[in-house]
Amino acid sequence: MKQKIFRIIADLRFAIFMLLLISFCSIIGTVIEQDQSIEVYKLNYPLTKPIFGFLAWDQILKFGLDHVYKTWWFYTLLFLFGLSLITCTFLQQLPSLKIARRCQFFRTTNQFSRLKNFTILKNFSINKILLKIQQNQYSIFQQKNTIYCYKGLIGRIAPILVHFSMILVLAGTIIGSLFGFKAQEVVPKTENFHIQNILTTGQLTVIPKVSARINDFWITYTKTKTVSQFYSDISILDAQGNETYRKTISVNSPLIYKNIYYYQTDWSLIGLRFQNTKNEILEYPLINFSEKQEKVWLTWVAKDSSISEGFILIIDNLEGYCSIYNEKGNFLGNIELHEMTNFNNSFTLLEIISSTGLQIKTDPGIPVIYSGFFFLMLSTLISYTTYSQIWIIQKNRQLFIGGTTNRALFDFELEFFKIIN
């Protein structure tokens, strides 16, 4: 009974069925937004208009479709697919490789009729034929008047490597889902921060207690005044606040420390720092009022203690200046860093306070997944090696010779004709 169950699991049709189920669930996880708040699902999938006529937000939450890749049933599908690959490897692929390594002598001449490449020679030199076969890198085995030759046995390892690579990819996916996490932090320049704004986390994840400091943040612009790249200078700190590692990161160039990746993802402006004629340092918060992707901030700077009169300052970049407007919205000019205005109650712009957006994540399954893809590429290269076999029987002054191969049939026919000619 156990053997029958394992034979069913090792069957190719069962593996394909499980792969289709995993693909279908992955499509659902792509269509339905993952790891969002309940309000998002209530808004996009209301009870009054369920998708497909039955799927509303309550069903999405009930069956875990808001976090498909972390549900028990998705892990079960991955486990069954991996089990199918493992059982197929041990019950089919390894025995097939073991059989291929055996010397499969032909006992009767009738067996040659099954071969596509087969001939009978009456005038021949067995030594010359064997020498030609040996020159073509065949391994030769003889038993009385019968000879068996093969080459390209390594090509039979390719299916086993394919199964092994897929198992590694599945294992890496499960490891990353169980032990990985992703966080998003928006940190002002010169401030310290800890990993605390967690977006997604696995069931067995332990959030590392790591602190870091944003030493500096700046943006480079193109000639057309569009953002070219933005950078963050980050220091990793120990428990005493001492710097242990430092790197300047940018988009697609993260900081990696103890398998934790710090990616540069966003930026923002949070305030302006001024100095008035009384040498007082004043800070004004910036408010982002842009509804589109453009980043535009503004603030209100009062002329005196009465906040009813003042100036509107608007800034949309980090090039070191902002624009000034009066209460009626009339443009008054630009003010640059360390420049003093010539209005009543003059002030000097000391600093544009910026913040950087970081995505912090770790995925311990990535090395395993990369190893799986490496073996998959290796198996692809090995699979191009053809496995060829040649049988010879000498009987009644006749030489029966035939052969077969699993790929490159035309090349094998040419090789076979060269041997017998």
| SS3 state at 259 | coil
CATH number listed for the domain at residues 103-152+386-420: 3.30.310.80
User: Alpha-carbon distance 65 to 55, whole Å?
Assistant: 10
Summarize the confidence of residues 23-39 as an average pLDDT: 87
Other beta carbons within 10 angstroms of residue 370's beta carbon come to: 12
- Which helix (H) or strand (E) is 311 found in, with range? strand 310-315
Written as six digits, the tokens of 372 are 């799986």
Strand order in the sheet with 388-395: 117-121, 398-405, 388-395, 146-151, 139-143
Cβ partners under 8 Å of residue 172, min gap 6: 365, 366, 367, 368, 369, 370, 371, 372
What pLDDT, on a 0 to 100 scale, did the predictor assign at position 222? 86
3-class secondary-structure state, position 386:
coil
Question: Given pLDDT bands bounded at 50, 70 and 90, which one contains residue 343?
Answer: low
Q: Which helix (H) or strand (E) holds 72?
A: helix 72-88
Token readout for 116 is 């596509």
Share of the chain above pLDDT 70, in %: 97
Please check the confidence at residue 213 and state whether its pLDDT lies above 80.
yes
Q: Counting beta carbons within 10 angstroms of the beta carbon of residue 293, is it exposed (0 to 12), middle (13 to 18) or buried (19 or more)?
A: exposed
- Mean pLDDT confidence for 7-14: 86
Q: Residue 313 forms beta bridges with which residues? A: 299, 324
The arithmetic mean of pLDDT across residues 405-416, rounded, is 89
Rg (CA), the chain: 36
Instruction: Note the pLDDT of residue 33.
Output: 86
DSSP state of 71: S
Is residue 172 within 8 Å of 366, Cβ to Cβ? yes
> For the purposes of burial, counting CB atoms within 10 Å of the CB of 80, is it exposed (0-12), middle (13-18) or buried (19 or more)?
middle
Question: What is the rounded (10 degree) CA torsion for 241, 247, 250, 255?
Answer: -80
Which residue in the block uniquely carries the two structure tokens 């990993």? 195
CA distance 73 to 91: 26
- Residue whose C-alpha is closest to residue 351's, from 385, 318, 400: 318
Residues 150, 390: contact at Cβ < 8 Å? yes
Most confident of 48-57, 257-266, 274-283: 257-266
Widest CA span in the chain: 121
The Cα 208–Cα 258 span in angstroms is 10
The secondary structure of residue 33, as a DSSP letter, is P
342: three-class secondary structure by DSSP:
coil
The pLDDT, as a whole number, for residue 21 is 94
| Mean of the per-residue pLDDT values of the chain | 88
Q: What is the pLDDT of residues 290-326, one digit of tens each?
A: 766 678 899 988 776 666 678 889 998 888 888 988 8
The winner for highest mean pLDDT among 46-60, 175-189, 284-298 is 175-189
CA distance 77 to 39: 29
Under the banding of pLDDT at 50, 70 and 90, the label for residue 355 is very high
Q: Tokens 């590692």 — which residue?
A: 245
Question: What number is the average pLDDT over the span 164-180?
Answer: 91
Copy the structure tokens of residue 111: 């067996």
* pLDDT tens profile 233-268: 999 999 888 999 999 999 989 999 988 999 999 888
- Please report, for the chain, the start and end positions of each structural domain, with discontinuous segments joined by +: 2-96, 103-152+386-420, 270-355
Give residue 358's pLDDT.
Answer: 94
pLDDT given for residue 185 in this prediction: 92
Rounded Cα gap, residues 413 and 118, in angstroms: 10
Task: Give the model's pLDDT for residue 237.
Answer: 93
In sequence order, the β-bridge partners of residue 298 are 287, 314
pLDDT at 378: 93
Position 345 scores a pLDDT of: 66
